[in-house]
Copies of this chain bind each other. A is one copy, B any other.
Amino acid sequence: MQPERIIPLTEKSSYAAAGVDIAEGQRALDLMKQAVAATYTPEVLSETGSFGGLYDALSLFSSTSHPVLVASTDGVGTKTKVAARLDRWDTIGHDIVNHCIDDILVQGARPLFFLDYVATARLDAVQIAAIVGGAAEACRAAGCVLIGGETAEMPGVYAPGAVDLVGTIVGVVDHSQLITGETIQPGDAILALPAAGLHTNGFTLARAVLDDLDWESPHPDLGQSIGDALLAIHPSYLEPVQTLRAAGVDLRGLAHITGGGVYDNLPRILPAGLGASIERGAWPEPPIFDLIRQRGKIDSREMFHVFNMGLGMLAVVPPADVPTAQSALGSDVYLVGHIVDNQGKVEIQNLGQDS
């Protein structure tokens, strides 16, 4: 039972005539129920009611003495248009869950529960079940409960065939373990956990630039199709970050590189006056970015402003902790730069190497 997913429709014929289909909504519900139930933990008090999802907050004290809740909401943006073009609906659920996990991870939080919202002009039960099923799988992998959700059919609001997918996550961190960036100093090392692709940002531009190409056949520059490269799943960085913590690495700051790229996201965690110097070439850039750059004749600075460019999550650590981090994560971490006294600015060295 998913407590609060309500298909806000009736099965009466006159409502159906107005463009809304309750039976299809109910079919979607039945298809996704099992996947959702698989995310449940003992903290879910699902026997007690069905309007809202219930989560036992006493459990917060199992791992924390001063729990702080961390909440975030976000959407996958027009990555849904890529899914629609390819008619592949099993990946974007993973994207939104992992995106949300990473957003609260930067403050040190582990996820407790997640709620999804899927809306479209016309419900397709199989499509919705694939989306929510993907979200449920990603939740389960992270020990996060899919505690609620909503599926909405809104003819006239959504373009025909278009879907929006939004997620909200609530996590917890002990007050003493909050990661704030406050202790970041000049000279600190910047480590990157690599990105799988565009993640959930920049799709409006990417789609515009790549629109007239074949998205389904393997592309020589990519080693896969454009469609596969674009749909590459946004990874959860929960496990590598936990590994770094367990290894004793002092995580002074974490930055999730989303919309606005490294230029806009890294400064959000830096103490006043500090900036960063990033060495382009120190990490692998997924080749889809260069294809977008070439096709769109986009300059490199713009590329780093719109896309993550392979920098999924940045961790700022003392230089002395770099070897520990590298031996803990091996090739899953790259030393990409360092903190400098530079008025909040991010400078990328070798920026023009591809232009």
Q: Which residues of A contact B (CB under 8 A)?
A: 4, 6-10, 12, 14-15, 18-20, 45, 48-58, 60, 66-75, 77-78, 80-81, 103-104, 106-107, 109, 113, 115-117, 119, 147-150, 152, 154-159, 162-164, 166, 168, 170-172, 175, 178-181, 201, 204-205, 208, 256, 258-261, 264, 268-269, 296, 298, 302, 305-306
Contact = CB atoms under 8 A, between A and B. Distances in A.
A8 B205 contact: no
Contacts of A204: 15, 18-20, 154-156
A305 B49 contact: no
5 contacts: A9-B260, A51-B268, A53-B70, A117-B117, A117-B168
A232 to B, nearest CB: 18
A269 B51 CA distance: 9
Contact of A166 (B72, B158, B166): B166
Contacts of A53: 70-72
B72 A115 contact: yes
A197 to B, nearest CB: 16
A46 to B, nearest CB: 11
Contacts of A260: 6, 8-10
A97 to B, nearest CB: 14
Given A55-B68, A81-B157, A302 B14 contact: yes
Contacts of A305: 10, 12, 15
A48 B178 contact: yes
Given A14-B298, A70-B53, A75 B306 contact: no
B52 A106 contact: yes
Given A51-B107, A157-B81, A258 B18 contact: no
A10 B113 contact: no
A269 B3 CA distance: 12
A10 to B, nearest CB: 4
A119 B164 contact: yes
Contact of A259 (B10, B48, B162, B164): B10
Nearest to A209: B18
Q: Which 6 A-B pairs have the closest CB atoms?
A: A8-B259, A168-B168, A57-B67, A73-B115, A52-B70, A10-B305
B51 A106 contact: yes
